[in-house]
């Protein structure tokens, strides 16, 4: 019995601190886009609240490890550009945006150095500079999965 406890204690020291991988996933349509002579923009906004985290972890430090994203596109748009933007908790302006492609998916680790807790917002922003003077509509939905660790 004593040997098994010692072996377990050594194994836990060798393996390092325990981190649990967790995810928050959301999907939504970015909505219609009115494209005037100056272009147009529409976005899908994803908000993180305290309710998105596991019960009992509100005071635990959380570290973002990746954002998996999947974008839709606007079939009538020409020269569509898409940005993935990360807002630190309760901020009105994004801390950082990176270019991604319309109608594609991928994983970004570009925001891992930023603060991650309730109040964070992630946006997928669609835009075009080509005037149509009409509303255009997305083909589907945008989605994000925020992958994080609780320390």
Indicate the DSSP class of residue 118: T
User: Is the Cβ–Cβ distance between 46 and 132 less than 8 Å?
Assistant: no
Q: What is the pLDDT of residues 24-55, one digit of tens each?
A: 999 999 999 999 988 899 999 999 999 999 88
In the chain, how many H helices and how many E strands? 1, 10
User: Is the Cβ–Cβ distance between 80 and 127 less than 8 Å?
Assistant: yes
For residue 7, give every residue at least 6 positions away whose Cβ sits within 8 Å of its Cβ, in sequence order, or none: none
Q: What is the pLDDT of residues 61-100, one digit of tens each?
A: 999 999 999 999 999 998 999 999 999 999 999 999 999 9
The CATH classification number of 19-150 equals 2.60.120.1430
Question: Looking at the predicted structure, is the pLDDT value of residue 133 above 90?
Answer: no
Question: Looking at the predicted structure, is the pLDDT value of residue 104 above 70?
Answer: yes
Q: What percent of the chain has pLDDT over 90?
A: 74
Binning pLDDT at 50, 70 and 90, where does residue 131 land?
confident
Write down the mean pLDDT value for the chain: 88
Q: What percent of the chain has pLDDT over 70?
A: 86
- The pLDDT value recorded for residue 48 is 97
* 52/13: higher pLDDT: 52
């Amino acid at each position: 019995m004593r040997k098994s406890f010692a072996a377990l204690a050594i194994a836990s020291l060798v393996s390092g601190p325990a981190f649990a991988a967790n995810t928050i996933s959301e999907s939504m349509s970015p909505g219609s886009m009115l494209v005037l002579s100056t272009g147009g923009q529409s976005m899908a906004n994803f908000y993180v609240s305290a309710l998105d985290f596991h019960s009992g972890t509100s005071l635990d430090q959380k570290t973002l490890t990746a954002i998996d994203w999947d974008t839709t596109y606007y079939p009538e748009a020409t020269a569509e550009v898409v940005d993935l933007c990360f807002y630190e908790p309760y901020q009105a302006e994004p801390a950082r945006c990176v270019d991604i492609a319309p109608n594609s998916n991928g994983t970004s680790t570009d925001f891992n150095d930023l603060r991650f807790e309730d109040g964070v917002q992630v946006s997928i922003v669609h835009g075009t500079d080509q005037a149509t003077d009409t509303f255009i509509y997305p083909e589907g939905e945008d989605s994000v999965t925020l992958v994080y660790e609780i320390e």
